[in-house]
Structure 1
Amino acid sequence: MQNSDIPETPPARMLPKVERQRLHDTVVDHLRNFIVEGLLAPGVKLNERRLCETLAISRTPLREALKVLAAEGLIDILPNRGASVSQMSEAEMRETFELMSGLEAFAGELARARITPVELSEIKALHYAMLACRGQDDLSGYYSRNQAIHDKINDAARNSALRQTYIAVNRRLQALRFRSNFQTAKWDSAIREHEAMIEALEARDGKRMAEIIRAHLLAKRDAVLADR
């Protein structure tokens, strides 16, 4: 689809509300993935014209999406200077990973008693899919399944307040978590840790589960800080 196919200000009758919302969500997802996978690196100033061409959209949905990402802390929007990808200081990285390690450890403790057999089977399936991506050196596929496992464990905790905090904090860390797997040895280490998580869940061992997840997140912190 070319830019010329999309009017600058499409009339409401041409773009029903449901379609407009779908476009909005799609643009946000694409931009978020660009940031997570480093296609838009920290500190980079965003070129609206180029992004519109890449996504085949007008500036209106792009700017709406940028506002969402700014609220998530992924980009900075400054008056008369446009938008740029946010950068975290070393202290922010360290503190945010420490917070996330606590959130995920708590989720693991809660999940061990609340997770259903179906959810555990879904986590195992994601783990096997993650192994397949590792065999194909597919970092993007590996990461998406890795994150899906963490999301399912968090969801299995059945705590909406924890869930909301986890989502907000994790969005700021996703690009760093992705980057922590650039070395294939890190992939293999993470796989072993995920296997240990599944074993702890099956054994309903909340204490062990919390220890594994906390160490897993702090190892990612250390890998990110070592690459700075």
Structure 2
Amino acid sequence: MMTLAQRKVPRGEGGLSRAHLHERVAEALRDRIITGALAPGERLAVTALAEEIGVSLTPMREALKLLATEGLVDLTPNRGAAASRVTVDQTRALFEVIAGIEALAAELACKRMTAEELAELHDLHANMQHLAGCEDRTRYFDVNRRIHDRIVDFARNPILSDQRSRLAQQAERVRFIALGRDARRNAAMQEHLDLMAAFDARDADRARRIWRGHLLASGDQTIDFLARRAAPDARTDRP
């Protein structure tokens, strides 16, 4: 599985349509913002980034416009682009909504997924458990993200999937912050195991409650981290 850090735009623009190219550039920048390689509030050196990625300024600017619609980039006239800031209020509101959406997804997936799909989730969780003790946060995050995505897929509700996709990039960004805190990781892993037990028992109500609690707890932990970081005497810490 390719990790966030491994995704790159091929050097140069040959062979890619203009429309496709700006999406690839957006993907590369999106991953850097989500993982904190481009920190919240950081001004984006557009020309330098274009040279680093290997594209001209046109697809770079188009990519920034796309990321602005996702809430990951702020575009200010005469000031350029910056990675959007992550605020406590924004994060609280985001997790309240995501928790509801993904809890419903867990309930529906519990009712609708096949035995083969359940086995896939077990395999993904085994992989995540293996990575839980590793220093590489990105690989752990990639598997965790895959689990959340597949649960939504297995819910088989296109309206739910569409609503979740509208918030997915912002949710992944703050979720990456939450996953980086070791104190929360052990509890989160147990919540994942509890969810799988509910799936095995085909207990949809329990699956919904567990997954909602899981997302809200992750949100609370992330909010606490952001609040402490924003305090005047807080230690500087990049997500």
Same fold (TM over 0.5): yes
Q: Where do 1:36-115 residues align within 5 Å?
A: 36-115=34-113
Deviations 1:198-222 (A, max 9, x none): 1111111111111111111111111
Match of 1:139 in 2: 137
Distance 1:90 1:184 in 2: 20
Q: Where do 1:70-219 residues align within 5 Å?
A: 70-219=68-217
Q: CA deviation at 1:26?
A: 2.5
Q: CA deviation at 1:137?
A: 2.2
TM-score (norm. length: structure 2) = 0.85
Distance 1:15 1:225 in 2: 44
Q: CA deviation at 1:74?
A: 0.9
Counterpart secondary structure, 1:77: strand
RMSD of the alignment, in Å?
1.7
TM-score (norm. length: structure 1) = 0.88
Match of 2:218 in 1: 220
Q: CA deviation at 1:22?
A: 4.6
Unmatched runs of 5 consecutive residues or more in structure 2: 1-10, 227-239
Distance 2:221 2:149 in 1: 21
Distance 2:90 2:34 in 1: 17
* 20-29 or 199-208: bigger deviation: 20-29
Q: CA deviation at 1:159?
A: 0.7
Question: How many residues are treated as equivalent by the alignment?
Answer: 216
C-alpha change, 1:96 and 1:16, in structure 2 (3 Å) is closer
Q: CA deviation at 1:174?
A: 1.3
Deviations 1:81-101 (A, max 9, x none): 111111243222111111111
Distance 2:152 2:110 in 1: 11
Q: CA deviation at 1:54?
A: 2.3
Deviations 1:173-219 (A, max 9, x none): 21111011222232222111111111111111111111111111111
Q: Which residue identity does 2:61 align to in structure 1?
A: R
Deviations 1:36-86 (A, max 9, x none): 110111111111122113212221221121111111111111222111111
After TM superposition, where is structure 1 displaced by more than 6 Å over at least 4 residues in a row? none
